[in-house]
Amino acid sequence: MFESLTDKLSGVFRSFGGKRLSEENIQEVLREVRLALLEADVNYKVVKDFVERVREACLGQEVLKGLNPAQQVVKIVHDELVALLGGEQAALDLRGRQPAVIMMVGLQGSGKTTSAGKIANLLRKRKMRPYLAPVDVYRPAAIEQLRTLAKQLDVPCFASTVDMKPTEICRLALEDARAQQATVVLLDTAGRLHIDEVLMQELADIKAVVEPQEILFVADAMTGQDAVTVAQSFNERLGITGVVLTKMDGDARGGAALSIKTVTGAPVKYVGMGETLSDLEEFYPDRIAGRILGMGDILTLIEKAQTTATEEEAAELARKMQKAQFTLEDFRVQMRRVKQMGSLESILKMIPGMGALRDKLAQAAPPEKELERTEAIINSMTMQERNNPDILNGSRRARIAKGSGTTVHDVNKLLRGFEQMRHMMKDMMGGKMPAGGRMPRGMSGMGMPGMGGMPGMLGMGTPSGGGTSAKKRKKRDKQKRKKKK
């Protein structure tokens, strides 16, 4: 998300770091910022107004005479980006008549049905009682798709049929939701073109019948300015209250997210970051601005980590680590939790100052591959072996290697590294640090940030098990001593 824009803006600000700013080089900075935003497919008028506001703020005497003008410019750009993205986070407003009603609208294939399921999942986790209603009678598969999602989430779903009228479905669904004491009804309407007068009128009729608290326009972020144009048309006809941008994980530019609030007046409320029902993030303008400028997003990372484990599980894990009772089974559970949080690269992007480490990882073997190999080895062990690695003799190790498609050497390396890591964790939890501050070899890609106090990014300083062995260090030191003599 925003990868190309982040790279370009980071390059711009790096090139001006440490310089005393003048009116001339401020104009040069802004010219580069303008080009970066236009290449990110941000609306031209939005870019023009944004750059003008930044220019006016930068040309104030406070910036030009500041102790670190370059950093002040970055702060001004950050603040203006936050304003551009909507200012404060816009939550769902479900006040008023119960059950509250959310209408999902948008083009065909934009991801309305999946987004309805994702929002229902989010509401369910917040102790609300969502109710799903399939209103798309033009695509029979849509009804079945929503029913399947409702079954996965264990939430009620209205029994729509293709011969029913959409307005009738909505009215009956509301009655059934009241009877089942649901608190929020999500209406999954049919996808339609904004120029289709008949179908647009149908949405207006549904709105008149159900009087929804929220009308969420669902757009494919990868369509860029097309999504903004269509959102504007839906807004003029229906008065949308918010936007859900899907496929944001595949959009390296981010033009739609940066333009849509200014053009439509409707804030982005959610972004879809993957295909599973948990891959939906609330949209925080300040956090997104930080990501765009390469400042990281540690709050979102913490929230992601908290969703994968309860406080009790985290406390139990911390206790095991402190007493060096952390087992290979515990380690396997943590690896799976990290996978739920996303790719290692996406996690590193949320940690401030990890840009250089990401570059190193890109040049090395993919950490995900190492994690997969490690998990395969642990999966080939019995539960007894995972909880007590000391019983792993030669024949057992040969069996594990064969079952995981690896070598005995790989199994031995994992076990050695795991034992070193376990003792190191005990020292770290006790406030100590291993000699030389060096992580064990062979454990690269195994860090679990935010998981019950486990040290983040274990071994990532030496991707793919790299590093310098004790033998090589002795040889190098010997050569240095000879040169000195």
> Which CATH superfamily is 3-84 part of?
SRP54, nucleotide-binding domain (1.20.120.140)
Residue 139 confidence (pLDDT): 82
400, exposed or middle or buried, with CB in 10 Å at 0-12, 13-18, 19+?
buried
Which residue is associated with the tokens 């050569």?
Answer: 479
Residue 350 confidence (pLDDT): 58
Q: Give the list of residues 6+ apart from residue 168 with CB closer than 8 angstroms, or none.
A: none
Name the CATH topology of 302-454: 434 Repressor (Amino-terminal Domain) (1.10.260)
Which residue is associated with the tokens 């290979």?
Answer: 328
Our measurement of the distance from residue 54's CA atom to the centroid of its chain's CA atoms, rounded to an integer in Å, reads 28
User: From the first residue on, what is the mean pLDDT of each consecutive set of 10 residues in the chain (485 residues)?
Assistant: 74 68 78 86 87 83 61 82 86 88 90 92 91 88 90 91 90 92 92 82 91 91 81 88 85 74 88 83 84 63 57 65 72 73 58 54 56 87 88 91 90 85 65 43 37 33 38 59 59
Residue 444 confidence (pLDDT): 36
Distance between CA atoms of 395 and 402, rounded to whole angstroms?
Answer: 11
Strand order in the sheet with 214-220: 130-134, 184-188, 100-106, 214-220, 242-246, 268-272, 280-282
Token pair recorded at residue 465? 């098990």
Distance between CA atoms of 303 and 362, rounded to whole angstroms?
Answer: 26
Give the pTM. Answer: 0.64
> Sign (positive/negative) of CA torsion 175, 180, 186, 187?
negative
Residue 252 confidence (pLDDT): 60
Cis before 352? omega within 30: no
Measure the CA angle with vertex 423, ends 417 and 429; round to 5°.
125
Contact 117, 172 (CB under 8 A): no
User: In 3D, which of 206, 204, 203, 253 has the Cα closest to residue 228?
Assistant: 253
> Sign (positive/negative) of CA torsion 320, 326, 330, 334?
positive
Three-state SS for 303? helix
Residue 306 confidence (pLDDT): 56
- DSSP bridge pairs for 282: 270
DSSP string, 106-155: ESTTSSHHHHHHHHHHHHHHTT--EEEEE---S-HHHHHHHHHHHHHHT-
Residue 247 confidence (pLDDT): 84
Residue 172 confidence (pLDDT): 92
Q: Where are the domains of the chain?
A: 3-84, 100-295, 302-454
Token pair recorded at residue 96? 């008023």
Per-residue CA distances from 7 to 1, 38, 95, 222, 294 (Å): 11, 14, 41, 18, 8
Q: Which CATH code of 3.40.50.300, 2.60.15.10, 3.90.1640.10, 3.40.50.1100 fits the domain covering 100-295? A: 3.40.50.300
Residue 440 confidence (pLDDT): 38
- Amino acid in the structure at residue 392: L
Three-state SS for 42? coil
Residue 318 confidence (pLDDT): 66
112: number of Cβ within 10 Å: 30
Q: What are phi and psi of 271, to 5 degrees?
A: -130, 135
